[in-house]
Structure 1
Amino acid sequence: MTDDSSPAARLRHELADELLAQGRIVSPAVDKAFRTVPREMFVPAGTPLDVVYSVDSPVITKTDEHGAHISSVSATYIQARMIEMAALAPGMAVLEIGSGGYNAALLAEVVGSDGHVVSVDIDAEITKRANDLLDVAGYGGRVTVVQADAQHPLPGFEPFDRILVTVGAWDVLPAWLDQLTAGGILVVPLRLNGVTRTIAFRRRGNHLVSVDVELAGFVPMRGEGAHTERTFLLPDRHGKHIKLQFDTEIPEPITGLDSVLATGPVSVWSGVTIPNGVSFADLHLWFAAFLPGFCRVGADPATDLASQLGRTWFPFGVVRDDAFAYLAVRPALNGGGVEFGATAYGSHGQAAGTALTEQVQAWDLHGRSSEPAFEFWPTGSRPVPPPGRSAVLTKQHGAVSISWPEAD
């Protein structure tokens, strides 16, 4: 451990103070863990201390041959939130899926000397690094690092009281349920039709019920549990492309869109406004649940739409036959907010734009003032969402229900 008077220790305490002030840390045990574990020991050498102890900056530890991030030490705010979401207690057995070392050390501090942490990763280089760093930091006897694909159960271990998944997952794998105790909690960043929520699920009978939710994403899972989105490249008049990404299958027949950007755009406005600085992240989740043809949208920097898409904050769209529309905003509330709408292309662009704005209006009426709940129903069980506005998204190993309760 490091000298408590060192610059790193001072920043460690300042970080814990800030996480407490933000409500990310709420329990004394998690507070103590963040003040104890030296995060600087688990990041690449030379990483500036102000980056190491930032609230919202992950530190990348490995990239692939294309420069994509495949491993990182996550931002401290989401590490604190996930540990709090797991409701850990001394003596618990915890499984961490996705290794790095630092988060496992935090978990070990919270469960104490009578608990135990198992950290698994598919990458042998990552597990060796995590194991070495944990040994140097003094946690080698309290954390077991295993190189394996988390798609499969880990032999030789009793069921875990808590499982924390620190990579982006598209599905809840059967192995995780097999290893989770009755009443145990699974915390997982789950992709829901292109939109991610980090969800704490408690096991209830034959399925999982959400008890806490956080807006955060992670590097995607590798191995057998990986999931690849389908991408359609929509050409513009200059030969550049708009990228439409679909969670599963690309709608058919989508080739009718090939010349759609040569048409003039049509604007459709919803009449729904929101003040500046107010989150509307659940609008995108509403789209993912209820908007057929929903997709994420990206653009080459040189395309005509790049600047417009950059102003939408979270670019999402919809495909309807030979038309395409994306979420747009314009100033409203005397400059103190925006109005939601759609910019649409194609001979049926008006219909595509209207489909999107109708869901904005439905969210405003039925979803804006309430928090959604999530349940996971394994294959073989029948989803029975709670009363309210609900959608069921089918996965390989079950289904996820997303529900907004009816307003009182």
Structure 2
Amino acid sequence: MTTPHMDAADIAASLRAAMVRELREMDAVTSEPVAAALVTVPRHLFALGEPLEAAYAANSALVIKRDGSGLALSSLSAAHIQAVMLEQAEIEPGMRVLEVGSGGYNAALIQELVGAEGKVVSVDIDPDIVERARDCLKAAGYDRVEVVLADAENGVPEEAPYDRIIVTAGAWDIPPAWVDQLSEAGRIVVPLRMEGLTRTIAFERSGDVLVSRSYCLSGFVPMQGSGSFSEHVVPLAEGVALRVDEEPQRFDIEALRQALDSPRLERWSGAAFDLPDELELFLLTNMPQVAMLHASEELVAQGRFAPSVTRGVPALTRGGSFAYRTKRPDEEIGGFESGVFAHGPEAEAVAAEYVELLQRWASDHRRRGAARIQYVPKTARTALPSRGLIRKRHGAVVVSWL
């Protein structure tokens, strides 16, 4: 609570305390060390030019730099996701930590967690961001953090090995340097893109592979430099597109365009619609040929598409047919029932396959943390399965369901 007689420092401290209380209520903060770091570090000193209320909003990211077209190149992530990632990392005093993607604030939080005996290295490819991070860290009293200008694809080998590597930019892959520079008992926390969606995953070593301890929904400014990746946007009609990670040539684009004009088939699963982020991960890692279907709000308002497409929804495609998820109120279920809209000559078949997936998830995996995610480097002597496999440049992601 603030009063008219408080000075700026007192107001900032009050807002910090309120932010931490809110983060506790959201279960983003679950440990005392992370809470103490968030209460201590003056976040507003890393949010230059922003009102104090904006700097201490628990669930809002602040853009630090944009390119000429207005696309965000760097941001101060929402305190909520920073807290969750720090909890995933379980940083202890005395650890050596590499942060990929600089901004300053998160590195300051890590410095609080590792203490005087620990080491924090933050690396970024953008000289403007590096200079800004150094200035902000110095102003806030955290100039022990080493901020390095480099392409993070190569890590920072001079200070390796690291007990923790925390990646604060959206990564499409895990480069060999990160694995090589991780200590034997180390942990990588990385927002990893998989088939068009991103999950922040805490990985630990298990022999030659990395195995998830936890994962959560997230969104980050994408990685720059040699580790960058651009999705493919496949226009199907005005206001309708597929977004895919793989080369789009494997889709029968002309046939899918024709399917848009075919009658819509509806099929309902009888299963509850719940936990959409978990459901989407299941769908995208169990479909043989998948894309994210996007359509405009105008087309939804015209009744041509379900509302799920406005933010993107997993679409199962087969030749010139496709199906995607929707929902409807259901009093017996006590919420919503999941269902499918399908188009094209094989609409019945793709709808039936999609409905079976919805039913299987609802009966077997409808809970938090049901996925086991592994990262298998190309150098690992590990056989790869045919199911739940997502190939990357330097290895593969394998998702299985418990």
Deviation (angstroms), 1:305: 6.9
In 2, the alpha carbon distance for the partners of 1:232 and 1:185 equals 37
Residue deviations 1:324-348 (CA, integer Å, cap 9, x gap): 2221111112584111111122222
**For 1:360, what is the secondary structure of its paired residue?**
helix
In 2, the alpha carbon distance for the partners of 1:311 and 1:150 equals 35
Deviation (angstroms), 1:382: 4.2
Residue deviations 1:12-67 (CA, integer Å, cap 9, x gap): 0111122223332222221111011111111130x232221122111111112222
1:31 aligns with 2:46: no
Residues 382 and 330 (structure 1), Cα distance of their counterparts in 2 relative to 1, 3 Å cut = farther
Residues 167 and 306 (structure 1), Cα distance of their counterparts in 2 relative to 1, 3 Å cut = farther
In 2, the alpha carbon distance for the partners of 1:220 and 1:158 equals 24
In 2, the alpha carbon distance for the partners of 1:81 and 1:215 equals 10
Aligned match of 2:265: 266
Deviation (angstroms), 1:304: 5.4
In 2, the alpha carbon distance for the partners of 1:87 and 1:314 equals 33
Deviation (angstroms), 1:385: 8.1
CA contact (8 A) 1:260 1:323 kept: yes
In 2, the alpha carbon distance for the partners of 1:366 and 1:384 equals 26
Aligned match of 1:86: 89
In 2, the alpha carbon distance for the partners of 1:204 and 1:61 equals 37
Aligned residues: 393
Residue deviations 1:133-186 (CA, integer Å, cap 9, x gap): 11111111x211111111114242131110000111111110101111101000
Question: Which letter does structure 2 place at the counterpart of 1:30?
Answer: V
1:130 aligns with 2:127: no
Residues 212 and 4 (structure 1), Cα distance of their counterparts in 2 relative to 1, 3 Å cut = farther
Deviation (angstroms), 1:209: 1.3
Aligned match of 2:380: 381
1:70 aligns with 2:73: yes
Alignment match of 1:41 (pick from 24, 45, 69): 45
**For 1:151, what is the secondary structure of its paired residue?**
helix
**For 2:241, what is the secondary structure of its paired residue?**
strand
The percentage of counterpart residues that share the same residue type is 40
Question: Which letter does structure 1 place at the counterpart of 2:191?
Answer: P
In 1, the alpha carbon distance for the partners of 2:170 and 2:48 equals 22
Alignment match of 1:119 (pick from 119, 122, 131): 122
Question: Which letter does structure 2 place at the counterpart of 1:397?
Answer: H
**For 1:6, what is the secondary structure of its paired residue?**
helix
In 1, the alpha carbon distance for the partners of 2:181 and 2:54 equals 36
In 2, the alpha carbon distance for the partners of 1:279 and 1:337 equals 12
Residue deviations 1:105-126 (CA, integer Å, cap 9, x gap): 0000110111111111111111
Q: TM-score, normalised by structure 1?
A: 0.90
Aligned match of 1:110: 113
Structure 2: which 5+ runs fail to align? 1-5
In 2, the alpha carbon distance for the partners of 1:302 and 1:28 equals 47
Alignment match of 1:397 (pick from 391, 394, 401): 394
In 2, the alpha carbon distance for the partners of 1:113 and 1:336 equals 53
In 1, the alpha carbon distance for the partners of 2:90 and 2:330 equals 42
Deviation (angstroms), 1:399: 1.4
Aligned match of 1:216: 218
Alignment match of 1:6 (pick from 7, 10, 14): 10
In 2, the alpha carbon distance for the partners of 1:354 and 1:191 equals 28
In 2, the alpha carbon distance for the partners of 1:174 and 1:18 equals 38
In 1, the alpha carbon distance for the partners of 2:290 and 2:28 equals 32
Aligned match of 2:148: 146
Residues 67 and 175 (structure 1), Cα distance of their counterparts in 2 relative to 1, 3 Å cut = same
In 1, the alpha carbon distance for the partners of 2:226 and 2:114 equals 30
Alignment match of 2:275 (pick from 276, 279, 287): 279
Q: TM-score, normalised by structure 2?
A: 0.91
Aligned match of 2:3: none
Deviation (angstroms), 1:93: 0.8
Aligned match of 1:58: 61
In 2, the alpha carbon distance for the partners of 1:62 and 1:107 equals 23
Residue deviations 1:213-232 (CA, integer Å, cap 9, x gap): 22212111111111222221
In 2, the alpha carbon distance for the partners of 1:296 and 1:220 equals 18
Question: Which letter does structure 2 place at the counterpart of 1:271?
Answer: G
Residues 207 and 304 (structure 1), Cα distance of their counterparts in 2 relative to 1, 3 Å cut = closer
CA contact (8 A) 1:298 1:309 kept: no
Q: Aligned runs of 1:244-393 on 2, under 5 Å?
A: 244-250=242-248, 251-274=250-273, 278-303=274-299, 308-311=305-308, 315-333=313-331, 336-369=334-367, 371-383=370-382, 391-393=388-390
Aligned match of 2:203: 201
Greater shift in the superposed pair: 102-111 or 13-22: 13-22
In 1, the alpha carbon distance for the partners of 2:330 and 2:258 equals 33
